[in-house]
A and B are shown apart, each in its own frame.
Chain A
Amino acid sequence: MTNGLDARQWVNQHADYLYSFALSRLNNEEQAKDLVQDTFLAALQKVDSFEGKASERTWLTAILKNKIIDVYRKKSSGLKLVSESEAIADQEGFFEEDGHWSDKYKPVSFGIEDTDNISNKEFNKILKKCMEKLPVLWHAVFTMKLVDEESSENVCKELSVSPSNLWVIIHRAKVNLRACLQKNWL
């Protein structure tokens, strides 16, 4: 092939990476496997559009990301999108009526806030479990915005979320995630 792609080496060089990437975002082995295969097949169809600007792996990962978003979209279209006021009403007792923290859920120190370079294995394990508990749409919005650093416009467009709901969802995800950590770490 003339444009620097070597499709016969894809499985050998990128399959495990793409699989791990998909698995970290979907947490479903079968689905992750299927998406890796779909990615390779889709990539074969558009080798001509590869311009060599990005590395082969980056290019394949971009195709995979789009496929992951399709899955998010399918999963979240079944969910009713909450309006902002509904979302705020549904904070499960984290806050009092006037917006003040409720006694039961108010943050207390994890005891690790002032450690430089936190890489506590136990803590990471709990964090991973707590992430997995988040509803699909929250998880999707949270990782697209935070980890993949997508623009808000993009996330809203891809997942059909309104701009004001975007922050409500991220906020809910974080408040829930933090509460889960507090409950399981302390």
Chain B
Amino acid sequence: MNALRKIIRNCQQTTLLIEKQATEQLTLKEFFTMRFHLLFCSICRLFKKQSGIINELVKQLYKNATFNTQTLDAGFKTTMQNRIDNELDR
């Protein structure tokens, strides 16, 4: 009983398993520990939902160039072009 109670209280371990599950296969023990905890814990269910949303948004943020749409300044580009041309013409 004590072991079960420990699982029910352990949000820290559960949230770590939630992160792991996003990209990795959990072991059976890990999977059931996480599932069992989530049955009883609405806070971690919310965390799981938010964690998934954050993952999606972070991916979007990087994949759309919206993260940074700045372009390199023309002077720097000319310098680079010259260096490449020099290398090629050697």
Contact = CB atoms under 8 A, between A and B. Distances in A.
A118 to B, nearest CB: 7
B4 interface: no
Contacts of A75: none
A113 B49 contact: yes
A41 B87 contact: yes
Interface residues of B, number: 48
B53 A113 contact: yes
A132 B71 CA distance: 20
Contact of A99 (B12, B68, B70, B88): B12
A90 B31 CA distance: 25
Given A15-B77, A100-B11, A168-B16, A33 B57 contact: no
B29 interface: no
Interface residues of A, number: 57
B10 A99 contact: yes
Contacts of A170: 19-20
Nearest to B23: A145
Interface stretch (A3-11, A55-63, A66-74): A3-11
B57 A127 contact: yes
Contact of B13 (A99, A109, A113): A99
Contacts of A113: 46, 49-50, 53
Contacts of A101: 11, 43-44
Contacts of B51: 174, 178
B10 A24 contact: no
B84 A10 contact: yes
Interface of A: 7-8, 10-12, 15-17, 19-20, 23-24, 29, 33, 36-37, 40-41, 44, 88, 91, 94-95, 98-101, 106-110, 112-113, 118-119, 123-124, 127-128, 131, 142-143, 145-147, 149, 152, 167-168, 170-171, 174-175, 177-178, 181
> Which 6 interchain pairs have the tightest Cβ spacing?
A99-B10, A99-B12, A24-B67, A95-B12, A171-B16, A23-B68
